[in-house]
Structure 1
Amino acid sequence: MPQALRTTFQRLTAAPTAMGLASRMALSRIKQENIDPLPLLKRTNLTQAALHERKHISIASQINFLSEASRALNDEWLGLTLAKQLDLREIGMIYYVAASSHLFGDALRRIVRYGRVVSDALELRVDQQGATLHLGISYSGFSRHTDRHQAEFVALVLLRICRKLIGHRIVPVAVSFVHHRSGNAAQIRSLFDCDVQFDSQADALSFDMTWLDRPVVDGDPYLNELMVKLCEEAIASRASNVSPFRTLVENNIAQLLPHGEASASNVARHIGVSERTFARRLASEGISFGGLLDDLRRELAINYLRQDLQASQIAWLLGFRQNSSFTHACRRWTGKTPSELRHAQEFR
């Protein structure tokens, strides 16, 4: 294979990474509580050396490590806990390029443009709808349905940056997340100062458009010019990843499941291809839609059972019309009913 083609192939198939900031903070908390981190790190394919040396780590490993740390620390809202404690300067150049901008609107545009400096899986976008500005947060190259803590961490950090830039506690018009949450959400609502919607079609923060023309408190045109140059060099040197087709399909299925609309035709339409093309792409990768749907339901079911959701609620979230259908599927997947699996020693 020619070198240029090999380089392109490696770029397109490389696993997405992040700077590992949330994982480092979680590791620090685990040690403070005198919990042995080695089993957690081993299960998630991470090492203390990689985190201490501030290397970029696999997004999948970070998501799994935060989930493991959440259970070990008995902190259901670990992502929020870490985001509250973060010194924003630790984010590095993306913070400084925003903080040195002239206007809040300029800062927001630079955060959107240079988000991939933090993670090559992070995709930010800004859309205007009437008097409301929507900051969309999406991810590529991994299955979004596996994540809760990292998504909440990123959203709260972005809001904290916005508040820091203009020296005012901006209150979002709305906040939404793709993933599911149940129980008392008072903590997250108090941090965002607004109602927070889960099981949504997109991760997003929405603001009043009038904030865009507010000056940044510590704007510095000379520093900003330097930081823009450094950020441009950084994104030019980092190869951008293309989301694998399987991941794209999984992310769309996960959004449609609770609505009972996770059919091949609906997923194809959401992706923007014909059913014929959709089936051909799946077949070319050795994937069947039914198998993919079943695997995803199994993974989500185990995740939801660990969150102590009721079986009836899980059945609805997975798109099963009856609780008995979920119980039958769970027994087929694991050899146990939902209740038996929840209480199994190896499940804990």
Structure 2
Amino acid sequence: MPDTTDQVLQKSGLSRIQISAPATSYSAHQEALFVRHACDALQNITFAAQAGLGFDVSSSVTAYISKYSRDLRQALENTCYFNWMIDPALSFALRSTGNAAVFEVDWKDPSFRRYHRRTEFLMFAAIARMRNLTQTDLHPLEIRFEHEVGQQAQAYEKIGGFPVTFGAERMEIILSLPSLDTPIPTYEPSLRAHLLEYGERLLAERRSPQQQMRAKVEGLITQSMPGTIIHADDAAAQLGLSPRTLARRLAEEDTTYREIVEDLRCDLAQTFIKNGMALSEIAFSLGYSDQAAFSTAFKRWTGQAPTAFRKRVEHPLNTD
């Protein structure tokens, strides 16, 4: 029998060879699935956040630019500028308010919005990276996530030792203004200048990947939540397409608008249940008129009622 790691890898479409150094052949979606299934296997949705906070190794160009930057502000500004080299799903921006600094995280590819555990890993890993760079026990004023985790929020605060808010309008890391001036002990201006020049060359050679129509549609659907699922005709209008053209583009990717909606609802429903959300809240979030309609759909997707699924998730060894 394969061990837990092999089972998680198999569910994620990965193998041990793919994740062995130098690991360059796995996709961001496979990474997201691996984080999700790892949390499921451990029956601990906070595992991704814990792993992120323990993250201390990065060998990318942007990581080295940050390592040789003057202070945390300069490192974060470089991260925002070269964000396309860091993560295919996210973009970053740094702004200052009257009494705080806000490191904003937004979606370049909204289809990743469904992967809550990967998002948590990356946000907590960002804090770990700031701590590693400055060699201090830096604590943000707050981290904010868009998704909900029900009664689990306090567990995340315990892990981080700082306020963690779920159900926020944006993903953000709130920092004190003085923390931006925290010096980076490994600052080396000549090396930084060389790496910046190299990064600029990579930027000039960059070709933006063509986002699939499915990813664009998923983005519009998730943005319309909670409480509403955007209609196909409205989605087409927002994409600058006719309904017929949208349907044809999706058919070229072997899917339909309805299939995308159903797949996204099914996927998010299971995640929301694992997050500990009430079934009535899940039904509303996914755009159902009532809990009964949601329960009927969930049983059609999975072959079991959402209450049975929740019981299995909470008591996986119970065979009754």
Matched, 1:304 2:286: no
Q: Offset of 1:62 from its aligned partner? A: 0.9
1:264 is matched with which residue? 231
Residues in 1 aligned to 2:132 and 2:274: alpha-carbon distance in whole angstroms? 36
Identity of counterpart residues, as a percentage?
21
| Superposition misfits of 4+ residues, deviation over 6 angstroms | none
> 1:175 touches 1:197 (CA, 8 Å); kept in 2?
yes
2:49 is matched with which residue? 80
2:69 is matched with which residue? 101
Residue number among 183, 197, 216 corresponding to 2:151 in the alignment: 183
Q: Offset of 1:50 from its aligned partner? A: 1.3
Tell which deviates more after alignment, 164-173 or 95-104. Answer: 164-173
What TM-score do you get using the length of structure 2 for normalisation?
0.80
> 1:115 touches 1:123 (CA, 8 Å); kept in 2?
yes
Let me know the Cα RMSD of the aligned residues: 3.3
Letter in 2 for 1:49: I
1:8 is matched with which residue? none
Q: Offset of 1:328 from its aligned partner? A: 2.1
Letter in 1 for 2:40: R
Matched, 1:52 2:16: no
Matched, 1:111 2:94: no
- 3-state SS of the aligned residue for 2:225? helix
Residue number among 206, 211, 223 corresponding to 1:243 in the alignment: 211
Letter in 2 for 1:317: S
Letter in 1 for 2:156: I
Residues in 1 aligned to 2:170 and 2:270: alpha-carbon distance in whole angstroms? 23
Residues in 2 aligned to 1:255 and 1:339: alpha-carbon distance in whole angstroms? 27
Q: Offset of 1:129 from its aligned partner? A: 4.1
1:228 is matched with which residue? 196
Unaligned runs of 5+ in 2: none
Q: Offset of 1:297 from its aligned partner? A: 1.3
Q: Offset of 1:335 from its aligned partner? A: 4.3
- 3-state SS of the aligned residue for 1:246? helix
Mapping of residues 1-348 of structure 1, within 5 Å: 35-56=3-24, 57-88=26-57, 90-141=58-109, 143-236=111-204, 239-258=207-226, 260-264=227-231, 268=235, 274=238, 277=241, 279=243, 282-286=246-250, 289-307=257-275, 309-342=277-310
Letter in 2 for 1:208: S
Q: Size of the alignment, in residue pairs?
A: 308
Letter in 2 for 1:178: E
Letter in 1 for 2:290: Q
What TM-score do you get using the length of structure 1 for normalisation?
0.75
